[in-house]
Amino acid sequence: CLGAKVKDVFQGRLPFLFKVLSVNTALSIQAHPNKELAAKLHVQFPEHYPDANHKPEMAIALTPFEGLCGFRPVEEIVSFLQSVPELRALIGEVAAEQLERSGSNDPRGVSAGPPVKSEKKFFVDQLNMLVKRISQEAVEGKDMSGSNGDLLLRLHSQYPGDIGCFTIYFLNLVRLEPGEAMFLGANEPHAYLHGDCVECMACSDNTVRAGLTSKFIDVLTLCEMLNYTPAPSSSKIFPATQSQLDPSIYLYDPPVPDFAVMRIEIPASIKLYLVSAVDSASILLVIQGTAVGTSTAAASEMTLRRGSVLFISANESISLHLSSPDGMLLF
């Protein structure tokens, strides 16, 4: 049922995991290793890295969605160093001035290095001073955008005293509208902050964490593996391509062989829709609408509604007889 290509390439295993996430409390600051590092970590620390696979991920927003992803442009980091004295104290004056003078495109000297490696009491003291100052500014109705104040207070309320709160000054805040996506390749620092999404990823559980979590934190590995290339937040939005053969289909096709995702928007005017066969096993998730599904592989009709999930074998098609007045949304 997996398909000949998947059997050959992935040794007879389903190569992806497909999830629905509803994020109310921020998830950890993390990154996922490439295959080479994953194999090494699995051998050295199997209790923390339980397999030898990489874990590229894609999040596609179902509601307005917020996440942190990749390093900000250096000029944005410099701006925060100049407007947030507690951050500057944490980084150190020498490193801050060096970044300001050099105009370097490599933020590693002031980002994942000093902050996450600082003595806990020192960074907690700086964080507490920052939160106290921003809280007072909020009471006074001041503009807190220069210090990312609203987000800081929100994260600190969820993870008080956590070093991960400072990462908002180094990582891009990415806002997605429904249908927009983020692709998270190997070594890309990220965190999901709020909202609902569908998430597809390679079949792995390898996660290197640095903050906003009570789970195992591996700072040294994270600092060594990260992609430090700065880029604007707009560059982190992964585009979908509308199918020329079927305008109902939007394809998210990341640069990895493990998975791709289709968003299928069936308009209300269509009452019979064919989910075409593909050459690998797939999962069909109903987000909106109702239909009766039929397939030569199924013994009986299938009633599909919001939350219904089908596993579809390779080279199998599904006919949908729509009964919803508003069409359907599927992944």
Residue type for 51, please? D
Q: Long-range contacts: 146-153, Cβ < 8 Å, 24+?
A: 146/79, 146/83, 146/84, 147/80, 147/83, 147/84, 148/80, 148/173, 151/193
As a residue count, the chain comes to 331
The 10 Å CB-count burial string (b at 16+, else e) for 232-259 is ebeebbbebeeeeeeebbbebebebebb
Residue corresponding to tokens 């999962």: 283
Q: Which of 209, 263, 305, 306 is catalytic?
A: 209
Determine how many CB atoms are found less than 10 A away from the CB of residue 308: 17
Contact 322, 273 (CB under 8 A): yes
Look up 209 and say whether it is catalytic: yes
Phi, psi of 319 (to 5 degrees): -95, 130
Instruction: Please list the active-site residues.
Output: 209
